[in-house]
Amino acid sequence: MAERRLSPSLVWLGGLIALSLMAAAIGGMTIYLQTRHADRVRAEAITHGSVEAGRAAIGRYGCGACHVIAGIDGANGQVGPDLSQVSRRATLAGRLSNDPEAMVRWLIHPQVISPGSGMPEQGVSERDARDMAAYLYAKN
């Protein structure tokens, strides 16, 4: 039986398709990384906090026991609201405008803002609140 060979033009087309897919993947990854960096820079600028310090503070205060929080291991609580994409919401806690200063105030003294709410006073410092807000705003 005769062996069938691929035509050179078909090999060329296959190579071209493979290169195109690789270029698209690299371009997509570049755009993704640039967007993540821009989100982080924006979040840190508007909150005057640190995304990395916010990640650590969220862990220390145990926020994931009650909330789902993207990027935090074990943050899969079902008591409080899911905090994924919190930066895209119109309000915080159902009553505050969603802006960095409101989030910081809420994290520091939720019971002053909404007495009897399910969000407990955790003794969050202003520095930690700004860092946690930076983390949450960076995770779109």
* 3 assigned to some structural domain: no
Q: Residue 122: name the closest of 103, 139, 106, 98 by CA.
A: 106
**Number of structural domains the chain divides into:** 1
| CATH code, domain with 88 | 1.10.760.10
Give alpha helix (H) positions in 1-140: 8-47, 51-61, 100-108, 110-113, 126-138
Domain encompassing residue 56: 8-138
Within-domain flag for 1: no
Mean pLDDT across the chain, nearest whole number?
92
pLDDT bracket for residue 140 (50, 70, 90) = low
The mean per-residue pLDDT over the stretch 70-79 comes to 91
Residue 70 phi, psi (nearest 5) = -55, 135
For 109-119, what is each residue's pLDDT tens digit? 999 999 999 99
Residue 50 domain flag:
yes
Question: 122: which 2 tokens?
Answer: 């955790």
Separation CA 93–CA 133 (nearest Å) = 14
* In a domain? residue 62: yes
Task: Extract the tokens encoding 56.
Answer: 């650590």
Q: 0.75 cut: is pTM over it?
A: yes
